[in-house]
């Protein structure tokens, strides 16, 4: 397995990687091994209800619940007791007997803690109470997702709840809770607010980031958005949103199919986000296999519906473990963007370590609503993964900014003549390109001017005094041209050729000509008396707003012709200034 390159990851993140993983391990150990021997679930979402013990019996077709509390003992004696419901589904009788623990008249009996298709609840009392209710995912009454029965109970009397439940599978051991109406209202308010808030977070993040991914054509964002929306559909189906709230009949499709589909995008998102195909190809193939296995498992869950929940639980467990492991692996190698990624899977693993043994029927839930706790963990995961994507964007932008600055520095170095400090031919061409993209908004203020300059006498200095003196001469010319003015940019095009690009009116052109003539005079009066500069200046038409490359090429040619004419005149003047040789006398 190849290791990550640290070229674009800060060194501090590498040193802190083990600290993050250590914190992850400690928190997971604290939450993954809570005591399973507690007699009552820990109340996270409201007042602790009265939870009588539940006796489970096998149900057979044609059986009916007892019609009075007096018939209960004889009815129970004729039933076949079983240890618990079968997680793969079936028909069962669940019976709880209790006494109200406080003198309150209004009570609510709930049958919950698991997903089920259909149930009838019968509440009997030794005071003559007989109430019957229907509930379940396949009924028209489904309360988030629990069966509720509002009854009037009298303190000091004995009561029993008899539930006939039919389901293709169970998600946990069923529970019967008894609580006052005020307690139930408080719990219902808390759980509904948390459920809707968590679904809202998942839906909002999913839609937004899916749109961003499609807009910028980034597959990581697209996969993450699909992952969040699949979670919304899965949990929405689990809590009965399509059936009870929207009145939609979903047929054979239930929440399990959405959770089986989840690893298809979940594994691919992990592979893409952590770039596993490049850094850990073997593990990328493992993730790819998880996605393929989930696709194969989807029709199996429809053919064998009793296995659907176990398949979904196994698929989600495997993909979350895969993603958490890969996140920790990347974090240990100093990958900065794996920080929030790993924290996101901590938010899922902590409730997952609580709910998974419950889903497999190993022991009762230690919290009063493990499903809602897992949904909240998923919403936290979604937010942290969004942070991870945002952190990734920042890393990419930082990398681009470093690249841009590096390119600017490289271009700047490549555009400067090392000897004179002036721009070189590349800088000259780039400036012309920039000028041609502009528009001369006010031609009355001036126009562009080109001066082509040739350094006279450089070859003689190199031949007679050496190249070091020739370099000194070039530096002297460069220093002189660099002092011409703010609106004048000078370039060394190569050898003894120089150029100037200026902007100004006719007076500015005259000042430029005088400055170049002064530079020529300064050179001849210095240590280089046999040198000088020949130059030619050409201006664009004063009323011209836009300039093309062809326009500037013509300016350069015209300035060249003027410069060669100036050079020719100077050569003629030098010849005329030389004294004639004296005639010989015989």
CA distance 2 to 138: 52
Q: Is the pLDDT of residue 579 over 70?
A: no
Compute CA distances 75 → 70, 222, 224, 230, whole Å.
9, 58, 54, 45
Q: Give tens-digit pLDDT for 408-451.
A: 777 777 788 888 888 888 889 888 888 887 765 565 667 888 99
What is residue 121's predicted lDDT score, i.e. its pLDDT?
Answer: 92
Domain boundaries, the chain: 11-38+200-401, 55-186, 425-574
Helix (H) or strand (E) holding 228: helix 219-238
What is residue 145's predicted lDDT score, i.e. its pLDDT?
Answer: 52
Supply 289's token pair.
């296999």
What is residue 59's predicted lDDT score, i.e. its pLDDT?
Answer: 93
8 Å CB contact between 95 and 81: no
Mean pLDDT of the chain: 82
Q: Average pLDDT in the 159-178 region?
A: 91
Q: Which CATH number fits the domain 425-574, given the four candidates 3.30.70.270, 3.30.1280.10, 3.30.470.10, 3.40.50.20? A: 3.30.70.270
Sheet holding 159-167, edge to edge: 80-82, 55-58, 90-98, 159-167, 118-125, 130-135
Q: Is the pLDDT of residue 359 over 70?
A: no
Higher pLDDT among residues 462 and 366, named by residue: 462
Compute CA distances 67 → 83, 152, 156, whole Å.
25, 17, 21
Instruction: Evaluate whether the domain defined by 11-38+200-401 bears CATH number 1.10.238.
Output: no
What is residue 554's predicted lDDT score, i.e. its pLDDT?
Answer: 87
Q: Give tens-digit pLDDT for 106-161.
A: 999 999 888 888 899 999 999 999 999 888 776 665 554 568 888 999 988 999 99
What is residue 217's predicted lDDT score, i.e. its pLDDT?
Answer: 86
What is residue 529's predicted lDDT score, i.e. its pLDDT?
Answer: 83
Q: Tell me how crowded residue 51 is: count the other CB atoms within 10 A of its CB.
A: 19
Supply 318's token pair.
């495997």
What is residue 109's predicted lDDT score, i.e. its pLDDT?
Answer: 92
Q: Is the pLDDT of residue 17 over 50?
A: no
What is residue 345's predicted lDDT score, i.e. its pLDDT?
Answer: 75
What is residue 14's predicted lDDT score, i.e. its pLDDT?
Answer: 42
Supply 86's token pair.
């079968």
pLDDT above 70 coverage of the chain, percent:
83
Helix (H) or strand (E) holding 449: strand 447-456
* Torsion, CA 311, CA 314, CA 316, CA 318, rounded to 10: -140
CA distance 298 to 301: 5
Q: Give tens-digit pLDDT for 309-324.
A: 999 989 988 998 898 8
What is residue 298's predicted lDDT score, i.e. its pLDDT?
Answer: 94
Q: Average pLDDT in the 64-84 region?
A: 92
Highest mean pLDDT, choosing among 48-52, 293-297, 323-327, 540-544: 293-297
Confidence band for 546, pLDDT divided at 50, 70 and 90: confident
Q: Provide the whole-model pTM.
A: 0.66
How many Cα neighbours within 13 Å face the side chain of 216? 11
What is residue 15's predicted lDDT score, i.e. its pLDDT?
Answer: 40
Higher pLDDT among residues 502 and 541, named by residue: 502
Compute CA distances 104 → 128, 147, 176, 263, whole Å.
18, 21, 19, 48
CA distance 275 to 266: 14
Q: Average pLDDT in the 315-341 region?
A: 85
H helix count then E strand count, the chain? 15, 13
Strand residue runs (E) in 173-228: 175-180
8 Å CB contact between 46 and 183: yes
Query: The domain 55-186: what is its CATH number?
Result: 2.60.40
């Amino acid at each position: 397995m190849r290791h990550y390159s640290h070229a674009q990851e800060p060194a501090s993140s590498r040193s802190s990687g083990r600290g993050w993983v250590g914190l992850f391990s400690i928190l997971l150990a604290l939450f993954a091994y809570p005591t399973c021997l507690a007699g009552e679930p820990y109340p996270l979402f409201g007042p602790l209800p009265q939870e009588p013990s539940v006796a489970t019996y096998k149900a057979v077709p044609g059986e009916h619940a007892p019609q009075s509390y007096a018939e209960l003992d004889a009815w129970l004696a004729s039933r076949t007791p079983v240890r618990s419901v079968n997680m793969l589904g079936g028909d069962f009788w669940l019976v709880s007997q209790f006494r109200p623990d406080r003198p309150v008249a209004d009570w609510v009996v709930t049958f919950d803690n698991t997903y089920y298709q259909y149930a009838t609840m019968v509440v009997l009392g030794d005071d003559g109470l007989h109430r019957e209710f229907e509930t379940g995912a396949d009924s028209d009454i489904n309360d988030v997702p629990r069966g509720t029965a509002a009854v009037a109970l009298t303190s000091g009397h004995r009561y029993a709840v008899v539930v006939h439940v039919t389901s293709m599978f169970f998600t946990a051991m069923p529970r019967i809770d008894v609580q006052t109406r005020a307690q139930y209202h408080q719990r219902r308010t808390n759980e509904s607010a948390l459920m809707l808030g968590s679904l809202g977070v998942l839906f909002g993040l999913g839609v937004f980031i899916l749109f961003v991914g499609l807009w910028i054509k980034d597959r990581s964002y697209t996969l993450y958005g699909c992952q969040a929306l699949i979670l919304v559909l899965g949990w929405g189906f689990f809590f009965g949103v399509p059936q009870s709230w929207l009145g939609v009949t979903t047929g054979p499709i239930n929440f399990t199919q959405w959770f089986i589909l989840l690893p298809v995008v979940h594994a691919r998102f992990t592979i893409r986000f952590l770039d596993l195909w490049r850094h850990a190809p073997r593990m990328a193939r493992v993730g790819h296999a998880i996605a393929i296995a989930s696709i194969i498992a989807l029709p199996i869950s429809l053919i064998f519906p009793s296995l659907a929940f176990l398949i979904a639980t196994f698929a989600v467990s495997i993909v979350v473990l895969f993603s958490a492991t890969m996140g920790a692996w990347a974090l240990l190698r100093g990958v900065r963007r794996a920080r929030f990624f790993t924290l996101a899977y901590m938010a899922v693993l902590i409730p997952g370590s609580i709910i998974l043994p419950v889903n497999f029927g190993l022991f009762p839930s230690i919290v009063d609503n493990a499903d809602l706790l897992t949904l909240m963990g998923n919403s936290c995961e979604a937010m942290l993964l969004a942070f991870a994507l945002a952190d990734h964007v920042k890393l990419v932008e930082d990398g681009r900014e470093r690249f841009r600055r590096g390119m600017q520095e490289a271009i700047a170095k490549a555009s400067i003549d090392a000897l004179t400090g002036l721009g070189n031919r590349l800088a000259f061409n780039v400036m012309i390109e920039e000028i041609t993209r502009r528009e001369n908004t006010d031609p009355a203020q001036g126009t562009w001017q080109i001066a082509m300059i040739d350094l006279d006498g450089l070859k003689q200095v190199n031949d007679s005094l050496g190249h070091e003196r020739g370099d000194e001469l070039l530096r002297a010319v460069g220093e002189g041209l660099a002092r011409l003015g703010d609106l004048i940019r000078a370039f060394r095009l190569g050898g003894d050729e120089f150029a100037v690009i200026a902007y100004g009116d006719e007076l500015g052109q005259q000042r430029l000509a005088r400055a170049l003539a002064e530079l020529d005079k300064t050179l001849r009066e210095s240590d280089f008396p046999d040198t000088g500069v020949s130059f030619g200046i050409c201006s664009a038409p004063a009323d011209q707003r836009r300039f093309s490359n062809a326009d500037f090429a013509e300016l350069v040619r015209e300035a060249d012709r003027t410069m060669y004419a100036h050079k020719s005149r100077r050569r003629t003047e030098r010849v005329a200034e030389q004294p004639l040789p004296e005639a010989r006398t015989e």
